[in-house]
Amino acid sequence: MSDDEDLKARLLTPRLQEEDVEIPGVGTVRVRALNRKEAVHVQEATDSEEKDRRLLAMGLINPMFMMPWPKLHSLGADECEKCGAVGELQEASPANELEPVSDKITELSGYATAKKPKPDKEVYKKFEDDPDAEFRVLPSAKADDDGSGNAGANEQR
């Protein structure tokens, strides 16, 4: 086998990572990364509910919600059969229950890095670790911070 043929064979071999995700009080599901074609299908959705539905339909592999030969949205279907069954799952689940599942599919697909804590949570954590820590708060949106600890100094000039 030539180097070109070997490279082509490696490129055509599926390399989609899989992982388990625990849904507290329900059980463990298995998810996988989306392939390029599936990722494009998700991105073509026109609203966030449909994007979420498509992501879950293709990324959830145990249990599997998608039908094997879908009508594609690009062929004019209002809702593809591949994604439609996930709508019931979305309606049966509390709002935040499927977020870890969607996040894991997105992460495995390479579209997200580890989530960083929100700034307010970072401040809370820092204060919890060091109650004597100092926090600078700018007096208004017009104030700028030159890093000297004199926040708002430019506003007063």
pLDDT (0 to 100) of residue 111 = 83
> pTM here?
0.62
The separation between the first and the last C-alpha atoms of the chain, rounded to the nearest angstrom, is 74
Q: CA-based angle 41:42:46, to the nearest 5?
A: 100
Task: Point out the residues of the chain with pLDDT beneath 50.
Answer: 67-75, 114, 157
Q: Domain ranges for the chain, please list them.
A: 3-108, 119-156
Express each pLDDT in 99-140 by its tens digit.
999 999 999 999 875 455 556 666 666 667 777 766 556 566
How far apart are alpha carbons 44 and 156 in whole angstroms?
50
Name which of 31, 11, 35 is nearest 21 in CA terms: 31
